[in-house]
Amino acid sequence: MIGSLSGTIQEKYPLIVSVGGVGYLVHVPQRLETQLQINATAQLYIHTHVREDALDLYGFETKEELRLFELLLTVSGIGPRTGLTIIDRGVPATQKAVTSGDVDFFTTIPRLGKKNAQKIIIELKNKLGSMGDLDLRDMDNGETKQILEVLLSMGFARIEAIDAIKKLGDKEISLEQKIRRALQILGSRNT
């Protein structure tokens, strides 16, 4: 399995990355393909897509793009080509469309109808965990991350855990007390 490629752009349209004398055909988002220059060095994060009749490589500029692409492939009816087109719109815009339930964002993409757009939103909403819901830079990173990890390990959904952490406020209490308080908040929801 190939996780990343670092090499020279040998050709474009289709993109061929030369690594140690071997040229790899890599499918990338259109925006990235237009940015890359022949004979320039590129570092791509790779998803290896295996089918009965093919072994294809899909390359991305960032780990976030790769992660979102792989999440999109978990949605039934969404293939790699459609996933690339969605990634071309940008990770933040796609995450925002999923978390806000913006069906129109997805229906403007070729080969994506309303049903598949709704399926993407429903299936990815919990998986994405709404990255914008919790900006760890605004909080004490160490404690906040620890609380989040504890709540996730106890089986709470990421969105629920983030919501509970946001409700804790900036009280000067110990880590254990914050975890107990977060559990109380989560417990009161389920009753």
Residue-level pLDDT at 18: 96
* Domain match, 114 and 70 both: yes
Residue range 66-82: average pLDDT?
93
CA 107 – CA 105 distance, rounded (Å): 6
- Whether 13 and 55 map to the same domain: the answer is yes
- Stretch 138-156: mean pLDDT: 75
Task: Decide: 133 and 162 in contact? Cβ < 8 Å.
Answer: yes
Q: Say if residue 24 is in the same domain as residue 10.
A: yes
pTM given for the model = 0.67
Residues 114 and 86 in one domain: yes
Taking the alpha carbons at both ends of the chain, their separation in whole angstroms is 46
Structural domain boundaries, residue 184: 132-189
Q: Residue length, the chain?
A: 191
Using the predicted structure, report yes or no on whether residue 136 has a pLDDT greater than 70: no
- List the CATH number of the domain containing 23: 2.40.50.140
Number of domains in the chain: 3
Identity of the amino acid at 10 = Q
Long-range contact set of residues 114-120: C-beta below 8 Å, sequence gap at least 24: 116/75, 116/77, 116/78, 119/75, 119/76, 119/77, 119/78, 120/72, 120/75, 120/78, 120/86
Same domain, 56 and 76: no
